[in-house]
Amino acid sequence: MTTPPPLAARLVASAGLLVIGVLVPALEINATHLFNPDWPAHARLHEGWQLATNSALAAAGLWLAWARGRVAAACGLGLLASGGFLVAWALRDLYGGSMAGTRTAAATLAGVDVAAWVMLAVTLALAGTAWWQRPRAAAHLAHVALLVRDYDEAIAWFTRVLGFRVVEDRPVPEQGKRWVLVAPPGGGTSLLLARAATEEQARFVGDQAGGRVFLFLETDDFARDHARLRAHGATIVREPTDAPYGRVLVFADLHGNRWDLIQRR
């Protein structure tokens, strides 16, 4: 299981996103901005577009932070809006832009528009939180060795029946074997197909877990993969059932090792 992000990170990200998606619209959906009769219709359209886009980015960011635990990605969405404002503000002299409206004066602090200070603070908070919560390299399970009788026989079964792809297949002449990796279409941990080299190893081909389910294959389309197993004559050890965690069946690979096919709820 992945560790959920700290509450503080979610709160900082949420605060920045709420400024973008709630506070700014609350300040601009009025007669001085969106409904300003002195603005041409085209300018009001762009104002509406900007508010809708930024609110959508903020809503998506809040979902990522709280429903998916992806705080860095949430901050990235917020930075698109806050950073975009700062770029537009910095280049305002090039296109005649101003924070002052036709009916309002721009509030300033130390000679700088207050809105620019606010967006700078939001940008720094989001950028800092994104850096804090950035994905970091961590230990992960790269390969699992699966004893097989023959390399090519196993490659053919996994690619044909399960739709796996061959990640690597190279000879290791000094050891008289091949380094063969296959992986499911969705990636993740790969299988090292290891040909049994001794009588003792050969005894465990097809029984690496002592009769228990050995490997767990998760799918995004249970019906599709169930049909594929049937079509290629794979042995279904236990028919599909519904469990609290999802839909599952047990099948055997070409040598008899048991696998779960699971679609999570």
Q: Is 15 exposed, middle or buried (0-12, 13-18, 19+ CB in 10 A)?
A: middle
Residues 12 and 64 in one domain: yes
CB 205 within 8 A of CB 196: yes
Six token digits for residue 154 = 């196993």
End-to-end CA distance of the chain: 16
Residues 128 and 11 in one domain: yes
Percent share of the chain, pLDDT over 90: 87
Predicted pLDDT at 1: 41
Structural domains counted in the chain: 2
Residues 122 and 175 in one domain: no
Q: Which of 132, 159, 190 is the last residue of a domain?
A: 132
pLDDT digits (tens, 9 = 90+) for 191-244: 999 999 999 999 999 999 999 999 999 999 999 999 999 999 999 999 999 999
Residues 126 and 151 in one domain: no
Q: Which residue segment(s) compose the domain that 151 sits in?
A: 143-264
**DSSP category for residue 177:** E
Residues 92 and 149 in one domain: no
pLDDT at 2 over 60: no
